[in-house]
């Protein structure tokens, strides 16, 4: 079973264990089959090892990864060499060109985690999070100065981020990672990286489809107010996923149209949902009305898990799992700071970070299983 809240273990042994995962072994074999040897003849195992060191030790640049491995006997031993930063750049380019191989490896890692962790993916939380660019996005070269004509990262753009803790919300320049996190283990199960400007609501379908493809059942999906728009409800209903999303104060909400039915006996009570029928059932509190119950069609104002219920409240409280998931990726697994530019490089960086984080979860799940046996 995947351990909740996986923390990084930074040592050579951990690198070796990750390289020995069957899914990583397949990636190494496929990269080697491309007859990539690097100019100085490093095998793919050494180069994947460098990528794992980079996120295990939270090192933003290859130069310092190369320097660490050069000076670290145990790491050199596990990797079997001390590749230069130039070898790392060439390998990263090769990985971007054959991105499908890394995608298959990530599919396999998440699929095995799901298979070995009962209930994983049943309850998802989805959100987007900021990845500030490695480059300046200000329109002017300096205060009241001329307009900037060349941008270091042409794929980055201005987006909005919400406040977190004591940090105010506001604009930022860069990219966004959109992710679906399993609320029980707080592990990401599907993700995508876009330029910051892109809206978040358009990615819900892709994330859920990807989680399903990786073997998860996906029963409920918890999102914040930013996703409280009709297309998101339609997307979830089409996929038979129950939405847990708070209401924005739209005109219909102000008029109280989201309230349960009521009569002279008081507000009616929730009496069950029927997903096939896409409706919820409500009952007169005294059963004094005829009929004493009726069905209400599910929509944004009347979701299958009504907002009045304890179940909704418990599910909504779990939404913070996605925030903690992002926090861990950024601070413990080295997703930030970005020291690469361009969408495809940022994507590769995030995918390698995910591989290290999820591979570690998989390795621990295996170790826990052996202990239990």
Q: Is 299 left (phi over 0), alpha (psi -120 to 50) or beta?
A: beta
**The tokens of 244 are what?**
């847990």
| Closest approach of Zn ion to the CB of residue 296, in Å | 15
Of 10 and 265, the one with the shorter C-beta distance to Zn ion is 265
Shortest Cβ 256–Zn ion spacing (Å): 18
CB of 216 to Zn ion, least distance (A): 42
Nearer CB in complex with Zn ion: 34/263: 263
Span between the terminal Cα atoms of the chain, in Å = 13
Rounded least distance, CB 255 to Zn ion, Å: 22
Can you tell me the distance from the alpha carbon of 87 to that of 66, in angstroms, rounded to the nearest whole number? 9
Measured from the CB atom, the residue of 259 and 311 that comes closer to Zn ion is: 259
Identity of the residue, 289 or 340, whose beta carbon is nearer to Zn ion in the bound complex: 289
Decide whether 152 or 263 has the Cβ nearer to Zn ion: 263
Determine contact, residues 273/266, Cβ cutoff 8 Å: no
Query: What 3-state class would DSSP assign to 112?
Result: helix
Measured from the CB of residue 284, what is the shortest distance to Zn ion in angstroms? 3
Report how far residue 38's alpha carbon sits from residue 197's, in angstroms, rounded to the nearest whole number. 37
Question: Residue 149 or residue 264: which is nearer to Zn ion going by CB?
Answer: 264
Question: What angle, rounded to 10 degrees, do the helices at 44-56 and 12-19 form?
Answer: 130
Q: Would you tell me which residues interact with Zn ion (CB under 5 A)?
A: 263, 265, 284, 288-289
Please, what is the minimum distance in Å from the beta carbon of residue 297 to Zn ion? Answer: 20
Neighbours of 17 (CB within 10 A): 21
Q: How far is the CB of 288 from Zn ion (least distance, A)?
A: 5
Nearer to Zn ion by Cβ, of 259 and 265: the residue is 265
87 Cβ neighbours under 8 A, 6+ residues apart: 38, 39, 40, 42, 47, 50
* In the complex, least distance from residue 266 CB atom to Zn ion, rounded to whole angstroms: 7
Backbone angles phi, psi at 14, to 5 degrees: -65, -40
102 φ, ψ to 5°? -65, -40
Element (H, E) at 158: strand 157-161
Buried b (16+ CB within 10 A) or exposed e, 201-228: bebbbebbebbbebbbebbbbbbbebbb
C-beta of 267 vs 308, nearer to Zn ion: 267
């Amino acid at each position: 079973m995947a351990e909740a809240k996986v923390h990084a273990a930074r040592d050579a042994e951990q690198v070796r264990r990750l390289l020995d995962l069957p899914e990583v072994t397949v990636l190494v074999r496929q990269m080697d089959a491309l007859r990539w040897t690097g100019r100085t003849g490093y095998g793919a195992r050494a180069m994947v090892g460098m990528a794992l060191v980079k996120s295990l030790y939270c090192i933003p640049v290859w130069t310092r990864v190369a320097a660490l491995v050069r000076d670290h006997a145990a790491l050199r031993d596990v990797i079997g060499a001390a590749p230069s930063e130039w070898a790392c750049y060439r390998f990263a380019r090769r990985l971007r060109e054959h991105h499908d191989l890394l995608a298959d490896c990530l599919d396999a890692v998440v699929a095995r985690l799901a298979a070995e962790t009962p209930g994983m993916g049943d309850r998802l939380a989805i959100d987007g999070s900021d990845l500030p660019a490695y480059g300046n996005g200000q329109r002017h070269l300096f205060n009241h100065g001329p307009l900037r004509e060349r941008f270091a990262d042409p794929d980055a753009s201005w987006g909005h981020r919400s406040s977190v803790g004591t940090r105010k919300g506001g604009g930022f320049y860069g990219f966004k990672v959109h992710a679906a996190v399993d609320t029980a283990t707080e592990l990401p199960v599907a993700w995508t990286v876009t330029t910051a400007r892109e809206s978040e609501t358009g990615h819900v379908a892709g994330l859920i489809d990807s989680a399903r493809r990786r073997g998860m059942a996906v029963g409920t999906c918890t999102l914040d107010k930013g996703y409280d728009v009709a297309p998101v409800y339609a997307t979830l209903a089409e996929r038979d996923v129950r939405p847990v999303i708070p209401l924005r104060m739209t005109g219909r909400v102000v008029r109280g149209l989201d309230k349960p039915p009521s009569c002279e006996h008081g507000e009616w009570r929730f009496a069950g949902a029927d997903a096939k029928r896409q409706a919820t059932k409500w009952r007169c509190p005294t059963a004094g009305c005829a009929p004493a119950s009726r069905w209400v069609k599910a929509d944004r104002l009347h979701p299958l898990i009504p907002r009045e219920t304890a179940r909704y409240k418990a599910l909504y409280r779990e939404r913070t799992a996605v925030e903690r998931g992002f926090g861990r990726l950024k601070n413990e697994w080295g997703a930030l700071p970005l020291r690469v530019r361009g969408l495809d490089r940022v994507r590769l960086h995030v995918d390698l970070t995910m591989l290290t984080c999820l591979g570690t979860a998989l390795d621990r799940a295996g170790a826990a299983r052996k202990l239990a046996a």
